[in-house]
Amino acid sequence: MTDFGIYYFSGTGNTKKCAEAFGLALKNKGETELFAIENGQEKFMPAKTILIGYPVHGFGAPQVVLDFAKTLPAGENLFFIFKTSGEPLRLNDDSSHSLRNILTKKGYRFGGEYHYVMPYNMIFRHTDEMASKMFLTAKERIQKDAEDIAEGKERKKKILLRAKMAYFINRIERPGVRFNGKLFRVKKKLCIHCDRCIKNCPVNNISYADGKFHFGSKCLLCARCSFLCPKDAIRIGLMDFLRVNGKYNFNADPQNAKIGKYCRRAYKRYFSE
């Protein structure tokens, strides 16, 4: 049995970066293994301490993460949750509600959760400098948080009523994104048929047949297909006005990052803590 098993789902790479940072921070504390949750290929390897990571989707955990949790055998292992989002708002505090319930009912012991701010892949595009600052801050926090996890320290906090309300109200997001996923389209004039969208879809929701792209009903709205499309050829249905395209340069100078008006106080508090 390994000491630390890190399971994560990552739409466009932010949560993967944090999972890898945890892997590096914990490797000196014991045997550590990382597993990506997607396409139903992940395997559960017993670990003394389990970490599960995900990007916040509509104030909740992506359905693929919940489905994975349901497949786990009963156990008494200690588990921690880490999550990423584009803003440091406490409205995200109850996003792991369903995930916690699934695992605790199986006997697992909840140790706490950690929240890291990473650049948006929808809504609007952060500057590369801000993206670099976010990841640098996340790595610094993860280094410290890994120490607590290795020692089995609990990190639980009181969940505000507004966070609970945000979670329950936005549960409609799950069937909503599956419906919206069927509305995805590809701009033929822009598409170069690299097939990255098909190969990279974490739930095998995209196919190509009879000269057309087909989008099924399993979409998570993780935005991987549209965000990583080299020609920005994918339109994401009713949510297209929030589309962001293209990788961030995490090597940009974080010293040049500027906090705008959007959630200004929350960002300043997060970076100063």
Among 154, 169, 184, identify where a domain stops: 169
Domain holding 15, by residue range, is 2-169
Residues 29 and 149 in one domain: yes
Quote the CA–CA distance of 250 and 10 in Å, as a whole number.
17
Asked, for residue 270, whether it belongs to a domain, the answer is no
Residues 88 and 133 in one domain: yes
CA angle, 150 then 152 then 155, to 5°:
110
* Confidence bin at 172 (pLDDT 50/70/90): low
Quote the CA–CA distance of 226 and 186 in Å, as a whole number.
9
Task: Please tell me the total count of domains within the chain.
Answer: 2
Residues 32 and 122 in one domain: yes
Q: What tens digit of pLDDT does each residue of 212-271 get?
A: 999 999 999 999 999 999 999 999 999 999 999 999 999 999 999 999 889 999 999 999
Q: What tens digit of pLDDT does each residue of 98-128 get?
A: 999 999 999 999 999 999 999 999 999 999 9
Asked, for residue 248, whether it belongs to a domain, the answer is no
Residues 118 and 190 in one domain: no
Residues 148 and 192 in one domain: no
Write the CATH number for 91.
3.40.50.360
Write the CATH number for 209.
3.30.70.20
Quote the CA–CA distance of 134 and 220 in Å, as a whole number.
24
Tell me the pairing of strands 184-186 and 234-236: antiparallel
Using the predicted structure, report yes or no on whether residue 142 has a pLDDT greater than 70. Answer: yes
Enter the pTM of the model: 0.93
Asked, for residue 124, whether it belongs to a domain, the answer is yes
Instruction: Supply φ then ψ for residue 46, to 5 degrees.
Output: -55, 135
Residues 45 and 91 in one domain: yes
User: How would you classify residue 13: left for phi > 0, otherwise alpha for psi between -120 and 50, otherwise beta?
Assistant: left
